[in-house]
Amino acid sequence: MAPEPHRLERARRPLPRSPFVVLGVAALFLFASCGTGSDESTSTITSTSTPSSESSSSESSTSTGLDTDLFFDGALAEEPTTEDCTLSDGTETTCYSITVAGYPSDHEVGPFCPETITDDADAGGIWLDGENVYDLDGQFIEDLAETYGDSTWKMYDEDGNVLVTETQEEFEAAARPDVDPDLQNHCVEGKLEWLENGEPIQTTVLIPTTPVAAAEPSSTQAILGVTLDGVRIDASAPVDAILSAYTIAAFDDCGGHFNPFEGYHLHGAVGCSEVDEVADGDTAQFGYALDGYPVHSPYAEGEAPDDLDECNGHTTEADGYHYHANSAAENLVIACLVGQTVQSDDAGGGPPPNG
Ligand SMILES: [Zn+2]
Ligand SMILES: [Zn+2]
C-alpha cells in the first residue's frame, strides 16, 4: 500500500496536462484502500444548531460568504469568476470558480524528511498519524520501530543516513498503492520539479457565493477547501496504508506535502496562511471550506469554546459562522461540512466514485 493513493483527491483541473495521468490514477485507485472520512457521513444528526438557525437570531451575522480579496497575492492562478451551479440537494445558485495556484504564495515548501538520524527538527517537517503529530527529526526516524511497535521499521543505513526517495521514479513508485518493496522503509518526499512539467498543479473548485445549509453535515468531499495562500485542503491522508508499507509520507512544517497527482496539498492545519486580523477569543482564518464558510486555525488544547458544533464550527458576532480546523494530529483538517457543496464531483465537491 502506498503513501498517497489519493483516490478521493480528484479535482477538475483547468488544463489537464495528460489524460494518461488521469486514467492511470483512476486505475490505480481501484486497488487503493478505502478513503477516510466517509464513515463519518453516517453519523446521525442530533444537533439543530445549523448556521441558518443560529444566524437567524442575528441580522448582523457576517456569514455572507467568501471574500475573494482575502486570498493572498499569487494564491489564485486566475481571477475568480462566478457561474451557475447546482448544489448537492439540487439548489440552483451561483458559485465562485476559484483556481488555486497549487503552491503556497507566501513561503517555500519543505523541508520534509531529515537527512540523518542526528538531524534536529529544523531539518525536517512533521508527521501526523491521526493520533499524534511528531517533529520529523532524526530521533523520530531512529525511534520508528519503537513508536509503532514493529521491528521491521529501520529507515536509515549503517551510517545513520535516512533513506529518502531520491528520484522522481522512486517518489512515484512510493506513491502507488503497491509500493515497490525496495521503497519500504523510505521517507517519502516529493519535489516541485518531479511534478509533471515541473510546475505546481492548479485546482479549480466551485464554491457557493452564499453558503446554503445542508439537511445534514457531510464529510465525503475529496477536497475540503482551499487555503488563503493557494493550496488545496484535502481529506485525510491514508495513514494506515502509508504505515503498513513502512513508509512515512512526510509533511512540511505547514502540514502539506506533494503527491504526483495533486501536487502540493494540505492535511494538517498548523497556523500557516493566516489572516492578520483575529477577533478576541477566536483564532485566525486561514482558508475557506468548499461550502463557502471560512476555516480558522485550531484552538489551542483546552481553549476551545463549548459552542462548537459537530463540524467544529460556531457563529460569532465578529466572524459569523466559521469552522475551526481540527488539530493537525487528527489528520483531518475539517471534520465535516454543514453547508452544501457543488453536485458535480469533478468540481471537487461531490462524493467519491463508487468503491
Ligand atoms: Zn496527501
Ligand atoms: Zn471561532
Ligand nearest to the CA of 282: 2
Tell me, in angstroms, the distance from the centre of ligand 1 to residue 36's CA: 12
> What's the CA gap between 125 and 204, in Å, rounded?
27
Flag residues of the chain having pLDDT under 50. 1-62, 346-355
Tell me, in angstroms, the distance from the centre of ligand 2 to residue 326's CA: 12
Tell me, in angstroms, the distance from the centre of ligand 1 to residue 343's CA: 23
Question: By CB neighbour count within 10 A (0-12 exposed, 13-18 middle, 19+ buried), where does 175 fall?
Answer: buried
Ligand nearest to the CA of 263: 1
- At 60-96, the pLDDT tens digits run 344 578 999 999 999 999 999 999 999 999 999 999 9
Q: Where are the alpha helices (DSSP H) in the chain?
A: 19-29, 51-55, 138-142, 144-147, 168-174, 239-244
Strand, helix or coil at 267? coil
Q: Is the dihedral of CA 75, 76, 80, 84 positive or negative?
A: negative
Q: What is the DSSP letter of 29?
A: H
Tell me, in angstroms, the distance from the centre of ligand 2 to residue 313's CA: 7
Tell me, in angstroms, the distance from the centre of ligand 1 to residue 237's CA: 5
Which three cell numbers, joined as nine digits, stand for 299? Answer: 484552538
DSSP E strand boundaries for the chain: 81-86, 92-100, 126-128, 133-135, 186-188, 203-208, 213-218, 223-227, 232-234, 247-249, 256-259, 263-266, 285-289, 294-296, 313-316, 320-324, 337-339
User: What per-residue confidence (pLDDT) applies to 13?
Assistant: 38
Ligand nearest to the CA of 305: 2
User: What per-residue confidence (pLDDT) applies to 177?
Assistant: 79
* Domain limits, the chain: 1-355
Ligand nearest to the CA of 317: 2
| pTM beyond 0.85 | no
Which three cell numbers, joined as nine digits, stand for 313? Answer: 464550527
Ligand nearest to the CA of 251: 1
CA distance to 211, 238, 344, per residue, from 242 (Å): 35, 6, 29
Strand, helix or coil at 302? coil
Tell me, in angstroms, the distance from the centre of ligand 2 to residue 193's CA: 38
Sequence-distant contacts of 117-122: CB under 8 A, at least 24 apart: 117/141, 117/142, 117/156, 117/160, 117/162, 118/160, 119/162
Tell me, in angstroms, the distance from the centre of ligand 2 to residue 88's CA: 26
- Tell me if 233 sits within 8 A of 268, measured CB to CB: no
Tell me, in angstroms, the distance from the centre of ligand 2 to residue 32's CA: 36
User: What per-residue confidence (pLDDT) applies to 344?
Assistant: 62
Q: Is the dihedral of CA 319, 44, 33, 30 positive or negative?
A: negative
Tell me, in angstroms, the distance from the centre of ligand 1 to residue 354's CA: 20
Ligand nearest to the CA of 303: 2
Tell me, in angstroms, the distance from the centre of ligand 2 to residue 322's CA: 6
